[in-house]
Amino acid sequence: MAALNLGSTDSAVLDPATEPTKRRARFHTLAVGEVRQLTQDSVEVTFLVPEALQGEFDYDPGQHLALRATIGGRELRRSYSICRPHALGSVSVAIKRDLGGVFSSWANTELRAGDRLDVMSPQGTFTTALDTLDDKHIVGIAAGSGITPLMSLAHTVLERSETSRFTLVYTNRTALDVMFLDELADLKDRYPARLALHHVLSRQSRSSALLSGRIDEEKLRLMLASIIRPNAVDEWFLCGPFELVQLCRDTLESVDVEPGHIRFELFTTGEPTHAVGDTGRPVVVGIGDKTFEIEFTLDGESATVTTPVNAKESILNAALRVRPDVPFACAGGVCGTCRAKLVSGDVTMTENYALEPDELARGYVLTCQSHPTTDRVVVDYDV
């Protein structure tokens, strides 16, 4: 999920040359104000934010929340995108039930108004880096629940400037699967000349062949040659499953769209996570084992943990064994919650779907995916 300024509710855009402000990721217990059915398999969950926590839950459009709950005796964390423009006193996410998804199934069937959940302060950099929205054209391509961050982005882009434009290509299986169908129609009615809305249905015929069937490379190239002209687009936002996002990235770059103008966020990589609960997976250091030493700073306090070389343990997992408050959510390289700065030593990152090139250049790593390659590694979660 992908620099942003968290200091003010009026700062949805920023100068990309400035260093983004980073809020320390913390969980706060919030009450559920409403659970609203969106489709047969998705709900919108609205949390009530008390006045004392308003500053902690200011957010930029496109950011996400990590939720934590104990389900069936097991602690689970999942990240979901904020789906509404900023409003004092509440924050909303949409949760679509995944096949076999324990958390998403529980949220869709058991979660009720009045329940209390641990909700992390907003995170993520999947927001615009443009310093002004005037006369800018933003394009979003989303599949299924990938619409959730684009709802907030589209509202913000169109509301903040009278000369901005937003084009949305939104693909689903059938019309019954379209999340926020009424809200999108209302947004189109409010901004008929500045919002172009294209619903693509993969398993239901539409009057236009271009909007019927699965989006593949051929169909995407036809869209770029007809309804979307890449040379007239200032920024692209892609959100959905890995295959669609990668197809769009590759195709856009093949028609000379600068990679720096493309922002993307994934549902999931499909890879298993290796951090368990708040303690990490068990790792035992045996006598005589060759080890790495990991030092990390969190909330101004430093801690050191030793990890066996043959355990191939991530920095996050090792850190959790001595500090259960180390921030993480997906543990799959997607959400970016576990981001830290590499101060010394070297690591290899297995995956990275969250950090921007400028963050990598400044030395940031995803600790859930980072494995030491030198005897000693030092990271800082506070910078």
The whole-model pTM stands at: 0.82
3-state helix, strand, coil in the chain (%, to 5): 25, 30, 45
Rounded Cα distance between 173 and 206, Å, is 12
| pLDDT value at residue 99 | 82
To the nearest whole percent, how much of the chain has pLDDT over 90?
Answer: 77
pLDDT of residue 283: 74
pLDDT at 41: 95
In Å, how far are 76, 79, 86, 293 from 1, measured between CA atoms? 19, 10, 19, 29
The arithmetic mean of pLDDT across residues 362-367, rounded, is 96
pLDDT at 294: 97
| Two tokens, residue 65 | 């929340």
Q: Residue 228's closest CA among 250, 203, 210?
A: 210
pLDDT digits (tens, 9 = 90+) for 125-180: 899 989 899 999 999 999 999 999 999 999 999 999 999 999 999 999 999 999 99
Strand 64-71 relative to strand 116-120: parallel, antiparallel, unpaired?
antiparallel
Q: What is the mean pLDDT of residues 218-245?
A: 96
The overall longest dimension of the chain from CA atoms, in Å, is 70
280-298 pLDDT, tens digit per residue, is: 566 766 777 899 999 999 9
Is 60 exceeded by the pLDDT of residue 321? yes
Query: For residue 22, what pLDDT band results from cuts at 50, 70 and 90?
Result: low
Residue 10 has pLDDT above 50, yes or no: no
Residue type, 44: E
The answer to whether 326 and 338 have CB atoms below 8 angstroms apart is yes
Burial class of residue 359 in the structure, from the number of CB atoms within 10 Å of its CB (0-12 exposed, 13-18 middle, 19+ buried)? buried
Q: How many residues does the chain have?
A: 383
Q: Decide if 49 contacts 116 (C-beta within 8 A).
A: no
Q: CA-based angle 261:262:267, to the nearest 5? A: 155
Residue 323 has pLDDT above 70, yes or no: yes
Q: What is the pLDDT of residue 282?
A: 67
Encode pLDDT of 69-106 as tens digits.
999 999 899 999 999 998 899 999 999 998 888 999 99
Nearest of 328, 290, 330, 294 to residue 311 by alpha carbon? 290
Span 53-76, average pLDDT: 94
Burial-class residue 341 by CB neighbours within 10 Å (0-12, 13-18, 19+).
middle
- Asked if pLDDT for residue 1 goes beyond 50, the answer is no
- 21, 5 Cβ separation under 8 angstroms: yes
Question: 18: pLDDT confidence band, cut at 50, 70 and 90?
Answer: very low
Which strands make up the sheet holding 235-240, listed edge to edge? 195-201, 165-172, 137-143, 235-240, 262-266
